[in-house]
Structure formats: C-alpha cells, structure tokens
Chains A and B, each alone.
Chain A
Amino acid sequence: MERDDVIEYSLDAHHSEEEGKRIRKKVMKVTVILSVLTMVEVAMGIIASGWAGIKWEIIKYTFIVLTMIKAGYIVMIFMHLGDERKGLTWAVLIPYFFFAAYLIFICLFEGATKMP
C-alpha cells in the first residue's frame, strides 16, 4: 500500500562507494579524537588535582571546553548536522542555545539572591 501522507525520503539519502570510503575515514578520525579527549579528561582529573599551584577552576573550565569540543564532533559529524541545509542547522541550534543560556543565566543570577 502506498501512503502519500508519510514521506520518508530526503536528499543525500544515498552516496557512492568512494564517498563512503571518505566518510568512513572521517568517522575513524573522529572516533580517535573522542577517545583521546575522554582519556585526557580522566587523566587530568586524577593527576592535575594533585598538582600544587594549579587552580581547580582552570581544570574545571578545561573540562567544559573539552566537553564542548566532543559535543561539537558528535553533533556535526556523527549526526551530520553540519551536512544539512544551513536553515535546519540553525533551527536546531538557536532555540537550544537560547533556552540553555537562559537557564544558566537564571540559575546563576536568581539562584543566589537572598530573600529580604
């Protein structure tokens, strides 16, 4: 039975053999990057916390930056968001970042207010 109400077909649903090879190479590269970043994070947690003179804040921000890099690779390469039309990319990212930033803002600024 053919249904015309549900269309499950989009552009870029197929690619050739050579293109597949190129994509697989990129996937392997990203895998290595993600694994190495995770190992670096764990090693930092173990080693760096014992270093004298280094502020825990610096380590914390490094963790957050590394996490953002990991998230970027997952979203842009694994989820192919980077290969979609620009409009879809922004339609996904802008609402998310807007609300997430608002949540963080409200927590940091209103969360610390003391009631009179």
Chain B
Amino acid sequence: MSSQANKEMDQNTLWGGKISPFSVSYGKMMMWFFLVSDALTFSGLLIAVGFFRHKYANIWPVSEEVFHALPFLGHAHFPLIYVALMTFILIVSSVTMVLAVEAGHRMDQKGVQKWLALTVIGGLFFLLSQVWEWSHFIHGSDIGALKVHGEVLRNYDVNEESIVGHGVIAQWAGKDGKKLEYIENIEANEEQREKLEHLTHELHHSSDIYIDDLIPIQKEYKALMKELGLSLRLPSADKDGKYYVLTPEETVKAISTGKPVFGANLYENEYGAKQYGQFFFFVTGFHGFHVFSGVVINFIILLGVSKGTYQRRGHYEMVEKIGLYWHFIDLVWVFVFTFFYLV
C-alpha cells in the first residue's frame, strides 16, 4: 500500500489494526464517506428537478422572474440578486471556517474561537435569508394568477402576444385556434382594437391592482372577448405538443369562475408548474436543514473550543471535521444555485 507511510507517522495516528489507511484518522475518513453519500442524495434531487423541468418545460417558471425582490424594496426588479447575496454569505462563512481550521493547525485558540464564532453568525444569516425567501415565495406577487382547468395562467410574458384577463396576462387564440402573435393580428375594427389596447395597457402598467379593482375591467374584457370570439389557450401542451384551446363560451366562463392563485405551496403555484414549488421547498428545505444542523454543531464545538477542550487534547481535528461538513453545505448550495435558479 503505497498510499500510507509516505511520511513518518505519530503512533497515535494508527487505527486499531496498527495501520492508518491514507494517513488520516478514522473520524475524518468517515466524514468524507458520509459526505460522498450525502452528495449523491443531493445529486439525485437535482437530477429529479432536471427531469421534471423537461417534462413540464412550457409551464416551468423562470427563476429570475420568481425571485427578483429584495427586502424592504417591495416588488422591485433585481433578478436573483438576493439569491446571489445568500450564496455570497455562505461562501464567506466557508472562508471563515477555513481560517478557523488554519488557526487550529497553529494551536491558536483565540483565532479558532473568533473564526468559528463568525462562521456560526454567517450560518444564522443564511438561515434568516432563507426564511425571508420562503415567505416571499409563499406570499407571491400582488397580481397573482388565474387557475383555469387546473392550470395557472400568469403574466410572465408581458408583451403584445398576451392579453389580460383577471389580473392575468393569458395567451389567447383566434377563431381558427391559432395563437395570436400580436394584438394587431386580431380581427377587430379600429374602435375595438383601441379598446383592447387600452385595457391591456391599463393592466400592464399598474402592478398594484387588486382583485376588487379588476372586476370592472374584467367585465369590459369579457364583453369584448365575446364580441371578438376570442378563446383562451392553456399554457401546457399535451404529449403530442398540442395546446388545449377553450371555446369562446368556455373562455368567458373560465374568466368569471377561475380561481385566483397567490404565491406557492405544495398544491398550487402562482408562477407555473406546482412541481417547481414542491422541489423548491424540498431541495432548499433539505439544504436548509443541513445548514441548521451545521450551525448547531458548529456552536457546540465553539463551546468546546472556548473551554479549551481541544487545546488540552493537543489538536483541533474536531474543527477540521465539522469544517468538512460546513464546506460541503457551501458546495451543495453552489449546485442548487446553478441548477435550480440559474439554468
């Protein structure tokens, strides 16, 4: 075995069998193997996200349009800046952890104490950020979305292709069932088109409209839709790539009876596929639970450092092992950030 005894070893390093595989202690090696298995769990989750994302490709929300708010700024448009900030907090707390391990190697008790305490604070900041993000996601936007035939119609394509109904900008189809590309393509006389554009404009530029304010606008819309014979096209296609188009009568009914949806939970999601919400809660929740337990263990070890337990023991390997776990949490977040939010 060439992997051991490259260096002269302390007798204490040897395991029960009087050798030390890879010249590491039992605890450190087992931490590595635990991390490998945990990494595979997260890989499985993220690959499952990819799978569902493909399955529901046309109703999968774009994360940049879901997570674009910052605390104290209402619904300002800063796509993913808050998530990037969370990533940065976690990277910084990972750095303070490396510095704690490094101080431990120099038997610098005060240094370990300082850096480990900062790591605990960083972890708490991350957890609080996550609480804010969850609550923001659960509450959703002011406008909400309309649930028709079990599907959520939402205004994430704010352009001429879409027309508003019930605080929602939905996709509409003409009499022939084809999607209307532009508002100009609608067969309507000048007066009707003007009315349509006016209504669309009214909703596009007022983000503070609530359901009550919508009803009068909606009424006008309904009348106009009936007149023009327009119908609603549901956002998700079936297996053969065909979209379901409601009849004009169904459309009028759907607009008046459709249920408004605000925010996301495990059953529905204002932003699109409910699977997006389910995976969001499970993946970030599972990661958040890792952060939570990491903070707790870091804190316990911080107590040990402060009491001088490891100073007396002669080494700070305990800090190194929890350090591995803490870096792993950062590592997982880097992947969650890319595969859940960015891609």
Contact = CB atoms under 8 A, between A and B. Distances in A.
A67 B315 contact: no
A58 interface: no
Given A15-B105, A39-B84, A85-B6, A8 B334 contact: no
Assign chain A's interface to a size class.
Answer: 35 or more
Given A14-B105, A84-B22, A99-B40, A46 B64 contact: yes
A49 B23 CA distance: 49
B121 interface: no
A45 B107 CA distance: 44
Contact of B81 (A31, A42, A87, A96): A42
A75 B331 contact: yes
Assign chain B's interface to a size class.
Answer: 35 or more
Interface in B302-336: 313-318, 320, 323-324, 327-328, 330-331, 334-335
- The A interface, classified by DSSP as helix, strand, loop or mixed, is helix
18 contacts: A7-B25, A8-B25, A9-B13, A10-B317, A20-B103, A31-B92, A31-B95, A35-B88, A42-B80, A60-B343, A63-B342, A64-B343, A67-B338, A74-B327, A77-B98, A78-B98, A88-B3, A92-B33
Given A20-B106, A27-B102, A92-B36, 6 more contacts: A6-B27, A9-B10, A41-B342, A60-B343, A63-B343, A87-B3
B106 A14 contact: yes
B7 A11 contact: yes
A86 interface: yes
A105 to B, nearest CB: 10
A87 B29 CA distance: 11
Interface stretch (B43-51, B138-146, B194-202, B255-263): B43-51
Contacts of B97: 78
Contacts of A91: 22, 32
A41 B335 CA distance: 12
Contacts of A15: 105-106
Interface string B81-98: 100100110011011011
Top 6 A-B pairs, shortest CB-CB distance: A87-B3, A88-B22, A10-B25, A67-B338, A85-B22, A42-B84
B77 to A, nearest CB: 10
A25 to B, nearest CB: 11
A23 B1 CA distance: 29
A111 interface: yes
Interface string A1-28: 0001111111111111100100110010
Given A60-B343, A88-B24, A13 B98 contact: no
A24 B334 CA distance: 22
A91 to B, nearest CB: 7
B16 interface: yes
Contact of A103 (B33, B44, B103, B335): B44
